[in-house]
Amino acid sequence: MKSKQSIPTVPLRQFIKHSLKILRNPLPFHHQNFSKHGDVFKLKIGFNREIYFCRDAAFASYVLQKNQRNYIKSKIQTKDLKKYVGEGLLTSEGELWRKQRKLIQPAFHKKQLNNILESVYGAIKVEYDRIDVNVTQDIFPIFNDLAFQTVVKSLFSSAANQDDINRLQWITEAAQKMMVKELRQPYLGWWFSFTGKIDKHINLTLEARKILKRIVNQRRTESKVHHDLLDMLLNARYDDDSTMSEQQLIDEILILFTAGHETTSNALTFTLQLLALHPEWQDRIYKEIMAVRKQTDDLMSQIMMLQTCQMAIEESMRLYPPAYFIDRVNISNDEFNGMHYKAGTNLLFSVYEIHRHPELWKQPNDFMPERFAEGGRQFSSQYFPFGAGPRKCIGNNFAMFEMVLAVSELISKYKVHPEFDEIEVTPLITLKPKNAFLRFELR
């Protein structure tokens, strides 16, 4: 039986040697080490700091589902991200997380989401008015704004003015960029603190909180029912019939902004790039859309029937998962596959590598939406675009509904052509697209 010492180690000197490349894009460095060392290796990132990188899907399932009670999120989320967005669903642990999950879950049930689909669809159509026909255009800014606008509309209906929305979006993205610098350059933590960069961005999030507090207080004074997520969150009751505190409510809203817009904009951009490279799938989606729209005007019914569109999105998230790493730390000693992990081990599961593992997927680097013809459940042991287990993304259904609406609406109007040689990525907190230039032709 293997011992912990048998896990291959990538020394600190290799981390330092490749630090600039890792800062730009760590994926090639990780892939090289997975190819050389196998599905688990240990990376030294300091004299007394190390991270275990894993692409073993069975180990991921074990940690996220079977033995999830022994694992918590790492300080990346429970401390580093928490200082920017507060202690909400994404960053909390233990009893607070369980309490909040139970309280918020009903807001993301299918019946509730049906109430906000018209607002989501309206925001999508407004953003698509920015598309220029027959010119080369970077689609990511449009999808980035689209995703943020849909989150805002779903939360607030028309309660937030455009200046507030723009400021909230800018602050959210600025805080994310700062956190990436902290994560990629841990050896410069002292410098970020000394120069005041961290305090500057924390102060920005305090500004965002003031904006949100004003919006929430305004809503509390209204008698009109909006049927949006803010109404649901304000009216949600704990077991003792109490409601969320103002601070907790704002924490949860900041989490929804952070987790709910960038991952969706990334996934939409990669999906359209892949469809641009595979026009035969555009044609299949277009034919499906036309057939479905003849049958029903109901948006939820359309979403449920647009299976080809959903297959393309699921395959896109396999190749380019927005949440491309999942972090966990074990509470007590554990063992898997003969390897021992002492309490406090930092584990990073590479969803990107699991989704492209040659032993798990036929033609793993090829765009083959047909593999999802029977849905994604058949791959539940190796497909984690929204995580897995109790901590699976609470907004996964909302994200899929939004993306199906966004892709189907765009393909119904345009043929999409690639204006790039290959799909490029910028791995930050999420896996972001780079140079996503497309050309749109009216149908």
What does the DSSP assignment read for 240-258? TS----HHHHHHHHHHHHH
Single-letter amino acid, residue 122: G
What does the DSSP assignment read for 271-338? HHHHHHH-HHHHHHHHHHHHHHHHH---HHHHHHH-HHHHHHHHHHHHHS-SS-EEEEEESS-EEETT
Domain count, the chain: 1
Domain that holds residue 235: 4-442
Q: Do the Cβ atoms of 130 and 142 come closer than 8 Å?
A: yes
Residues 436 and 38: their CA atoms lie apart, in Å, by 32
CA-nearest of 30, 99, 128, 189 to 412 is 128
- Each of the 443 residues of the chain gets a pLDDT tens digit; together they read 344 558 999 888 888 888 788 878 889 999 999 999 999 999 988 788 899 999 999 999 999 999 999 999 988 888 888 888 889 888 999 999 999 999 999 989 888 899 899 999 999 999 998 899 999 999 999 999 999 889 888 888 776 788 888 898 888 888 878 887 887 677 788 888 889 999 999 999 999 999 999 988 888 888 888 888 999 999 999 999 999 999 999 999 988 887 778 899 999 999 999 999 999 999 999 999 999 999 999 999 999 999 999 999 999 999 999 999 999 999 999 999 999 999 999 999 999 999 999 999 999 999 999 999 998 888 999 999 999 999 999 999 999 999 999 999 999 999 999 999 999 998 888 899 999 999 999 99
Residue 401 in tokens: 């509904």
What's the predicted TM-score (pTM) here? 0.91
Q: Do the Cβ atoms of 7 and 42 come closer than 8 Å?
A: yes
Residues 151 and 257: their CA atoms lie apart, in Å, by 7
Q: Do the Cβ atoms of 42 and 52 come closer than 8 Å?
A: yes
The CATH number of the domain holding residue 96 is 1.10.630.10
List phi, psi (to 5°) of 225.
Answer: -95, 125
What does the DSSP assignment read for 168-195? HHHHHHHHHHHHHHHHH-GGGHHHHHHT
The neighbour count for residue 198, using CB atoms within 10 Å, is: 18
